[in-house]
Structure 1
């Protein structure tokens, strides 16, 4: 947990801007079918907490549009205020980057019904999640099998399941590492290193960090990964 907090320390704030096009501007559009009234908040993480950087009032028209000054590609959240607790159940996570990004979803299936287009990093993130979900599904199946084995006091089965679980975790981390390296020219690479495998052996994080292209290395997550790796190396001396 400590490493996770270090990996996602405070970052520079964004500010909304006018509709004048620029190379560092995110033009966000979207539509939430079924939404008549409410407030949308565009958020990002600061010191492990979600902080709003802009808001959109919905009054009769379910479509929305915003231009946001974007210093670097970053994971943002589109939060729908339903008048209840600020829960991640109301938050759509999307990889924002300069250019046009569109979010299409509906009120009843806000998160899982969301379709995000226009961001290459988001496209890669969706690809990563699709494969990574297989490891998560296998882990859940093993947890259930282990529970049943313990219940019937079958220690041999428990040991076998534990071995399979260890193998599954190793394959999951290896996949994430290879995915990051294979996409070293996109900001998704350092993001995965920081968000998904921050607790992996430092040699793998170091390999990802060194593989980043100069452009990615100078991005928000690229700089954070470089510092994170340097801090770990320093603490291990």
Structure 2
């Protein structure tokens, strides 16, 4: 009888431990091909700093797994501590949401080769980023010509390039606004508003904020956008008007 009781208690403890290990509403799996030794950290931004919410030791097996809890979809980072280098290519951004998420990458091209599946918000964010990168590339392509025009004091060329840059920025902001409005059912909408176009005219942010579905409005980024828009409105109301 005593042995039976001990066996029962042992099984109960094992079941309890197993249950603890799988707690959380976000199940993250993946593989960093070529990684034999190191540490992976699941990070999130708290205030303005990256804070680790889980760590995974890699020792021989490059596959990894993590279970975390999120109240709503949120951007996280998979940071690789290589142990031997401070390479900048070590932090993968992914839009996590409740469910199963898989991250596949490799050691040599850790960020550029990363493939994230299982998150609709991340899928939408990748669609946005693909087009947004074109605006970034276009702006970069104008930097050198503008510098050369300034150097030779060609004001006409400087003005022309400046207009192209301003037009590019307007198109970038318009695209971000339309993308957020077209995807108001997902948490990626308020995130883009806060991360990409926070300094756009208030009326556009207000439109995005009002378009959010009740579910998105109650999310982490939805609440932040609502507060941000409210604070901007208060600031405008208290700012003295400039005399004509």
Q: TM-score, structure 1 length as denominator?
A: 0.89
Selected match of 1:18 from 12, 17, 21: 21
**Cα distance in 1 for residues equivalent to 2:222 and 2:195:** 12
Deviation at 1:87, TM superposition (A): 6.8
Q: Secondary structure at the match of 2:52?
A: strand
**Cα distance in 2 for residues equivalent to 1:139 and 1:38:** 37
Q: Secondary structure at the match of 2:76?
A: strand
Higher relative contact order (CA 8 A, sep 6+): 1
Q: Secondary structure at the match of 1:233?
A: helix
Which residue of the partner structure matches residue 144 of structure 2? 144
Give aligned pairs, total: 218
Deviation at 1:154, TM superposition (A): 1.2
Encode CA deviations 1:29-80: one digit per residue, 9 max, x unaligned: 0000000011000000011100000000001000001111111100000000
Deviation at 1:89, TM superposition (A): 2.9
Which residue of the partner structure matches residue 6 of structure 1? none
Encode CA deviations 1:93-121: one digit per residue, 9 max, x unaligned: 00000001000000010011101011000
Q: Secondary structure at the match of 1:111?
A: coil
**Cα distance in 1 for residues equivalent to 2:49 and 2:83:** 19
Q: Secondary structure at the match of 1:30?
A: strand
Deviation at 1:82, TM superposition (A): 1.6
Deviation at 1:144, TM superposition (A): 1.4
Encode CA deviations 1:2-23: one digit per residue, 9 max, x unaligned: xxxxxxxxxxxxxxx6325xxx
**Cα distance in 1 for residues equivalent to 2:134 and 2:79:** 27
**Cα distance in 1 for residues equivalent to 2:54 and 2:88:** 17
Q: Secondary structure at the match of 2:94?
A: strand
Query: Relative to structure 1, is the Cα distance of residues 188 and 90 closer, same or farther in structure 2, using a 3 angstrom cutoff?
Result: same
**Cα distance in 1 for residues equivalent to 2:230 and 2:169:** 25
Q: Secondary structure at the match of 1:89?
A: coil
Structure 2's unaligned 5+ residue stretches are: 1-19, 238-244
**Cα distance in 1 for residues equivalent to 2:222 and 2:84:** 35
Deviation at 1:151, TM superposition (A): 2.1
**Cα distance in 2 for residues equivalent to 1:72 and 1:78:** 18
Deviation at 1:148, TM superposition (A): 1.5
Q: TM-score, structure 2 length as denominator?
A: 0.86
**Cα distance in 1 for residues equivalent to 2:88 and 2:229:** 29
Query: Relative to structure 1, is the Cα distance of residues 201 and 85 closer, same or farther in structure 2, using a 3 angstrom cutoff?
Result: farther
Higher CA-based Rg: 2
Q: Which has the higher helix share?
A: 2
Which residue of the partner structure matches residue 167 of structure 1? 167
**Cα distance in 2 for residues equivalent to 1:201 and 1:164:** 20
Encode CA deviations 1:183-212: one digit per residue, 9 max, x unaligned: 000000000000000111111100000000
Q: Secondary structure at the match of 1:71?
A: coil
